[in-house]
């Protein structure tokens, strides 16, 4: 499966900026995790036609894929963006403003059909100096949702109070004509297919997934899918710049978003003010073998690191003398006897693999994965469904984002292909040797196609070339690469840095995970300097992970109401709130009291101990109360009380499987000052 989840549900913890897991803005690897058949096991969200302002899928050009070196945006032809109140339910912060901008579907035919690009922004606080556009990756990730959720935090933490922070759904994504080749029901039926079919029925579902997606795309879009390319999205970005009335643009991109930014810099070098390209992806220059092996090997390594952590940590819910062997046994168990979830869906080995991949994107999700695996082993698949569904863009109500429909189309239209290998038998042997778990179910049939169209691109968009990266502008650019990034290996960051010229610096992050925005203090400070002040770091800067926050001395003296439980491990709750051990020290307890009664009871205990209230903060989550307290030593303690209804909201739905029914959760967090 191609892209990983785009996390965007981190919430601001008591107005302390570092408290957002706006790392939750992380997104996604860019090639599929088996290197084969991007469309095969992906499907779609409801609907059957693209959202063009003309309301049609008319063929506006001939059969030839567009020339990505062709015309650029003419600022004179782009209207001014008219910002107004947001009506989208995900953009409920009153500071946000929303708009749409019509752009040509085909830039060679600017008077033809148009697409409506959805925009959201956090306006500059004062003395506006421009805008910073944001893209989280995918390709196919929403750039609207992360800014709606965490744009104010990004603005504050990166020192960008003089800049608008602008998010947009790229063409073909969600609100911007989101690609919908098949409906939700089709996608749900084909979401977690058995990759090792044992019956004709299982094989039929696999075959349907491949061909059904292709047939749906052809029926709904004709040959217009070739216009959903990275280069055309870069042109849309320039239309946004012109619509804002700015001479130059700043850009913050993660994962595939780094390649999008690099393409923009290539096409519009004089219009770049500054860029941050975090977790670089560079599709140019990889050998066929590298295209198949890179992410498989990356996630194999990340799995081994997770297994070692769990093996060495007795608090890990999946702890064993050989965690890898325990995981293998669970995989086999779910293959032979899938578990039925509360909604009737079958949780099999594919669900487990998807959940595992999703959690390996961030070290903060390692305990969440362990907890979900232990519960699955005991017969409850809710935890692995929560991780896997979030990864796949499946909402709790069974609807889908367009991520897993648009990703393959954008890749194909951009020339990001997975061609058949010259030596499929030799490649298969390397896959099995170098990635025995993540490539374990790849077969020779996955690597061979009689037509040579292994990835389906010829049928969907036609063949085009990847845009080479070549920047000659003066605007400073920072490229971030992680030594332990499973999705985008550091060599891509090295290659991109070299291609972007002398005004580019590379920063190396030595920790785990993919995407370091607001995760690493060192990286965040460097990113802030280039975007706010146009200041580049020295050559060869290396950033290590932040240290874990230690338990403060007064922590053991905290008193709790008699109705509260002892400390319980609920890692999924902390992950949903964006709380990591480098942010603060935290614990959780549960109670049968409702949220208000629990908050009042704890407040009374803290007042008796000399803690002074610092006021309440509205997190925008139903049945949730957050209060800050100053300790007698001047430290800050944040208490977040979440009643049962809180776990029915989108923000906390992923944590619901780990919380007992009709239970209130009390999380208390020490934030060093």
Q: Which one has a higher pLDDT value, 197 or 70?
A: 197
Q: Is the pLDDT of residue 31 over 60?
A: no
H-only helix segments in 158-229: 184-189, 200-221
pLDDT recorded at residue 16: 32
Pairing state between β 664-671 and 249-254:
unpaired
Helix (H, G, I), strand (E, B) or coil at 575: helix
Tokens 């992950």: give the residue: 575
Handedness of CA 505, 510, 511, 512 (dihedral sign): positive
The answer to whether the beta carbons of residues 513 and 631 sit under 8 Å apart is no
Mean pLDDT of 52-58: 31
Position 417 scores a pLDDT of 84
Residue 451: what pLDDT?
66
* Residue 550 burial (CB count, 10 A): 11
DSSP 52: B
| Per-residue pLDDT at 53 exceeds 80 | no
What is the reported pLDDT for 75? 54
Which of 41-55, 153-167, 588-602 has the weakest average pLDDT?
41-55
Structure tokens at 633: 């030593």
In angstroms, the Cα distances linking 79 to 45, 76, 550 are 31, 8, 53
List Cα–Cα distances, 661 to 432, 643, 646, 655, 657, in angstroms: 43, 10, 12, 12, 9
139 pLDDT exceeds 80? yes
Token pair belonging to 182: 């098949």
How large is the C-alpha radius of gyration of the chain? Answer: 24
Read off the pLDDT of each residue in 556-578 and give the average, rounded to a whole number: 93
| Distance (Å, whole) CA 574 – CA 367 | 10
pLDDT band at 617 (very low <50, low <70, confident <90, very high): confident
68 pLDDT above the threshold of 70 = no
Task: Please determine, for residue 39, whether its predicted confidence score (pLDDT) is greater than 60.
Answer: no
For residues 357 and 351, the answer to whether their CB atoms sit within 8 Å is no
Using CA atoms, how far apart are residues 279 and 652, in angstroms rounded to an integer?
A: 27
The three-class DSSP label of residue 145 is helix
* pLDDT at residue 51, rounded to an integer: 31
* pLDDT score, position 232: 97
Q: Is the pLDDT of residue 608 over 60?
A: yes
pLDDT at residue number 42? 25
What does the block give as tokens for 243?
Answer: 């619509």
Q: How confident is the model at residue 349 (pLDDT cuts 50, 70, 90)?
A: very high
Q: Is the pLDDT of residue 57 over 60?
A: no
Is residue 559 packed enough to be buried (19+ CB in 10 Å), middle (13-18) or exposed (0-12)?
A: exposed
Residue that wins the pLDDT comparison between 41 and 155:
155
| Bigger pLDDT: 323 vs 39 | 323
Supply 462's token pair: 């036609």
- Give CA separation, 629 vs 20, 556, 670, in Å: 19, 16, 10
Q: Are 162 and 125 in contact (CB under 8 A)?
A: yes
Residue 578 binned pLDDT confidence (cut-offs 50, 70, 90): confident
**Burial status of residue 333 (CB atoms within 10 A of its CB: 0-12, 13-18, 19 or more):** middle
| pLDDT, tens only, 442-490 | 888 888 876 667 678 888 898 888 999 999 999 999 999 999 999 999 9
Question: How many whole angstroms separate alpha carbon 129 and alpha carbon 385?
Answer: 44
Q: How confident is the model at residue 224 (pLDDT cuts 50, 70, 90)?
A: very high
Which SS3 state, helix, strand or coil, does residue 15 take?
coil
3-state secondary structure of 625: strand
More confident residue, 634 or 256: 256
Report how far residue 157's alpha carbon sits from residue 518's, in angstroms, rounded to the nearest whole number.
8
pLDDT of residue 38: 22
Q: Please state, in angstroms and rounded to a whole number, the distance separating the CA atoms of residues 671 and 661.
A: 29
DSSP 574: H
Mean pLDDT for 269-284 is 96
Q: What is the chain's mean pLDDT, rounded?
A: 87
* pLDDT 10s digits, 522-548: 999 999 999 999 999 999 999 999 999
Per-residue pLDDT at 664 exceeds 70 = yes
pLDDT of residue 603: 94
Helix 366-377 to helix 288-312 angle (10° resolution) is 80
Q: Say whether pLDDT at 265 is over 60.
A: yes
Q: What is the band of 420 on the pLDDT scale with cuts at 50, 70, 90?
A: confident
Q: Which of 503, 405, 444 is nearest to 45 (CA)?
A: 405
Backbone angles phi, psi at 661, to 5 degrees: -60, 145
The pLDDT value recorded for residue 448 is 83
Q: Which residues, including other chains, have CB under 8 Å from residue 312's CB and lie 6 or more apart?
A: none
Q: What is the pTM of this model?
A: 0.88
Q: Where are the alpha helices (DSSP H) in 245-381?
A: 256-267, 288-312, 323-336, 349-359, 366-377
Beta bridge partners of 627: 616, 639
Name the pLDDT band for 673 (thresholds 50, 70, 90): confident
- The pLDDT of 107-127, averaged and rounded, is 95
How far is 572 from 663, CA to CA, in rounded Å? Answer: 15
């Amino acid at each position: 499966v191609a892209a990983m989840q785009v996390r965007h549900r981190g919430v601001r913890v008591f107005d302390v900026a570092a408290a957002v897991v706006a790392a939750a803005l992380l997104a996604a690897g860019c090639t599929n995790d088996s290197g084969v058949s991007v469309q095969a096991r992906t499907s779609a969200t409801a609907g059957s036609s693209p959202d063009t302002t003309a309301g049609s899928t008319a063929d506006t050009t001939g059969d030839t894929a567009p020339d990505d070196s062709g015309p650029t945006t003419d600022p004179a032809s782009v209207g001014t963006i008219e910002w107004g109140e947001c009506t989208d339910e995900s953009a409920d912060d009153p500071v946000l403003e929303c708009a749409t901008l019509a752009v040509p579907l085909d830039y060679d035919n600017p008077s033809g059909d148009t697409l409506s690009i959805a925009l959201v922004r956090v306006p500059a606080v004062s003395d506006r100096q421009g805008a910073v556009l944001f893209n989280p990756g995918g390709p196919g990730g929403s750039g609207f949702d992360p800014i709606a959720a965490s744009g104010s935090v990004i603005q504050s933490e990166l020192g960008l109070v003089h800049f608008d922070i602008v998010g947009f759904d790229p063409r073909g994504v969600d609100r911007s004509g989101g690609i919908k080749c098949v409906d939700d029901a089709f996608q749900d039926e084909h979401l977690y297919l058995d990759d090792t079919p044992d019956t004709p029925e299982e094989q039929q579902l696999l075959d349907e997934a491949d061909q059904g997606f292709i047939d749906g795309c052809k029926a709904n879009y004709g040959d217009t899918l070739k216009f959903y390319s990275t280069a055309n999205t870069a042109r849309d970005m320039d239309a946004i710049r012109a619509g804002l009335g700015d001479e130059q643009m700043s850009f913050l991109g993660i994962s595939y978003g780094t390649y999008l930014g690099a393409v923009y810099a290539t096409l519009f070098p004089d219009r770049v003010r500054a860029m941050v390209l975090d977790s670089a992806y560079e599709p140019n220059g990889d050998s066929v073998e590298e295209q198949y092996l890179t992410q498989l090997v990356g996630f194999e390594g990340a799995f081994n690191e997770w297994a070692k952590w769990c093996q060495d940590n007795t608090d890990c819910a999946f702890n064993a003398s050989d965690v890898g062997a325990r995981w293998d046994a669970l995989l086999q168990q779910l293959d032979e006897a899938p578990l039925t979830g509360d909604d009737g869906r079958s949780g099999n080995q594919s669900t487990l693999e998807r959940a595992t991949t999703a959690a390996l994107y961030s070290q903060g999700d390692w305990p969440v994965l362990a907890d979900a695996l232990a519960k699955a082993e005991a017969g409850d698949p809710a935890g692995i469904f929560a991780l896997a569904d979030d990864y796949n863009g499946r909402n709790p109500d069974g609807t889908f984002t367009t991520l897993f429909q648009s990703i393959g189309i954008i890749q194909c239209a951009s020339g990001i292909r997975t061609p058949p290998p010259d030596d499929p038998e030799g490649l298969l042997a390397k896959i099995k040797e170098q990635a025995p778990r993540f490539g374990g179910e790849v077969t020779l049939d996955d690597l061979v196609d009689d037509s040579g169209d292994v990835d389906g691109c010829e049928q969907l968009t036609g063949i085009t070339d990847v845009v080479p990266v070549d920047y000659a502008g003066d605007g400073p650019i920072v490229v971030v690469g992680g030594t332990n990034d499973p999705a985008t290996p550091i060599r891509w960051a090295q290659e991109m840095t070299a291609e972007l010229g002398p005004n580019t610096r590379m920063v190396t992050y030595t920790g785990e995970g993919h995407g370091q925005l607001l995760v690493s203090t060192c990286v965040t400070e460097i990113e802030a300097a280039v975007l706010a002040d146009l200041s580049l770091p020295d050559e060869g800067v290396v950033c290590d992970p932040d240290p874990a926050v230690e338990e403060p001395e007064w922590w053991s003296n905290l008193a709790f109401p008699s109705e509260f439980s002892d400390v319980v491990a609920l890692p999924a709750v902390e992950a949903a709130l964006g709380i990591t051990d480098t942010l603060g020290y935290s614990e959780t307890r549960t109670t049968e009291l409702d949220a208000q009664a629990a908050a009042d009871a704890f407040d009374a205990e803290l007042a008796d101990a000399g803690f002074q209230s610092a006021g309440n903060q509205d997190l925008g989550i139903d049945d949730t109360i957050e209060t800050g307290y100053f300790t007698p030593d001047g430290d800050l303690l944040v208490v977040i009380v979440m009643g049962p209804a809180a776990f029915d909201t989108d923000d906390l739905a992923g944590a619901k499987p780990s919380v007992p029914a009709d239970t209130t959760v009390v999380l208390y967090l020490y934030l060093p000052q």
